[in-house]
Amino acid sequence: MTNPAISIIITPHGNSTISPECVAAARKSAGGDAEIILLDDASVPDIQALGQSVGAKVVHSGKVKRTAMARNIGARAATGDILLFLDSDVVLGQGTIPEILRTFQETGCDALVGNYDRPSRKTPLFSQYQDLFTCWHHLQSVKNGDRIAWFWTPIGAVRRDRFNEIGSFHEDSHAEDIEFGFDLTARGGGILMRTDITGRHEHGRTILSYIASVFKESAGLSDLHLRKNRSLRLKTPFGGWRNIVTLPNSYFMFITLLIGTFFPSLWWFNGVSAGAALIHSFVINRQLYKFVTQGRPFFFRGLLFGAFVFYNHVGTNLIVGVAIKYGALRHLLRRR
């Protein structure tokens, strides 16, 4: 019996359980011959019935500290030539998996990553913001070519022999997919970005879960860069000069606004902060804000959503700054 061409490994992600819609869409896209592996961490009471309904293999992972551990368990159980890692809240389109297989065959790449669909306006605000920024950063990553140096597990596929060559995802890393991509690139592997291979992200971020997600990812990337990418030669999806400039500019806006507000004699600092905000919006990030507000009527929904994006963008950068310092401190303490 020959191995299936692709094994789809669906792992509970964060606080999400495995969505039946995610599993059904994966089977519909892959057809009857593909192997689907569901990781059972005891968060889905009827996971056996869900697996049987689509002909999926259920692999018990137990409660794991990090998602990377469950993905590694799934990868060890897989028999397909291609391993497709899929977050449990991502719903693929019908033609997605055939397109993934065709891309591997035609390009000879070792791995590829996809992107999120543009979220609908009915999606919770913080979920819209996060998904739109992910879409934007992925699109920016391919401006100078479709080869990238990082991996992305929400929709990420890799040849099984190359995965085994690397060994596994690093289970002590908070940026295990990015790090896997760095390791694969260092061994001469080619990772392809396909922004037209997409899935709908069905999640509901609250402000607290959003802050926690940003902090964890940023701290993980900070630690990863200090361990393996000090020269920043390997670009992540959040690299680029705009992000580098936006971070200190956000702190500058925030600090000058505080000074102008709490020290009346220095009221003119408010004007300095407003000038920095204009530069932030209309010079540094003009194309980004144009992208995230695309398709919205300008005077109401577009303007209001744009204001939400602006304040959330600045707030996100304040969180990122703290997380970078935390990640760097954790890295230094580990070295001692």
Q: What is the pLDDT of residues 179-209, one digit of tens each?
A: 999 999 999 999 999 999 999 998 888 899 9
CB neighbours of residue 229 within 10 Å: 18
Mean pLDDT of the chain: 88
Give the phi and the psi of residue 136 in degrees, each rounded to 5.
-60, -50
Torsion, Cα of 188, 102, 31, 150 (10° steps): 30
Task: List for the chain the helix, strand, coil content (%; round to 5).
Answer: 55, 15, 30
Beta pairing class for 35-40 and 57-60: parallel
More confident: 159 or 277: 159
User: Mind listing the pLDDT tens digit for each residue in 65-106?
Assistant: 778 888 999 999 999 999 999 998 999 998 999 999 999 999
pLDDT score for 112: 96
Length, in residues, of the chain: 336
**Residue given tokens 């709490």 in the structure block:** 262
pTM reported for the whole predicted model:
0.90
Q: How confident is the model at residue 43 (pLDDT cuts 50, 70, 90)?
A: low
Distance CA 222, CA 77 (A): 32
What residues contact residue 334 under an 8 Å CB cut-off, 6+ apart? none
Of the listed ranges 85-99, 121-135, 158-172, 280-294, the one predicted with least confidence:
280-294
Structural domain boundaries in the chain: 6-204, 241-335
Residue 24 confidence (pLDDT) above 50: yes
Q: How confident is the model at residue 235 (pLDDT cuts 50, 70, 90)?
A: confident
More confident: 49 or 6: 6
**Structural tokens at position 322:** 């703290």
Span 215-240, mean pLDDT? 84
User: Mind listing the pLDDT tens digit for each residue in 257-312?
Assistant: 899 888 888 888 888 888 888 888 788 888 888 898 887 776 556 678 888 888 89
Question: Residue 198: in which H helix or E strand, if any?
Answer: strand 191-201
Of the listed ranges 109-113, 242-246, 301-305, the one predicted with least confidence:
301-305
pLDDT score for 299: 59
pLDDT score for 302: 66
Distance CA 77, CA 73 (A): 6
pLDDT score for 1: 43
pLDDT score for 53: 87
Selected from 3.90.180.10, 3.30.930.10, 3.90.550.10, 3.40.50.300, the CATH number assigned to the domain covering 6-204 reads 3.90.550.10
pLDDT score for 216: 92
pLDDT score for 14: 61
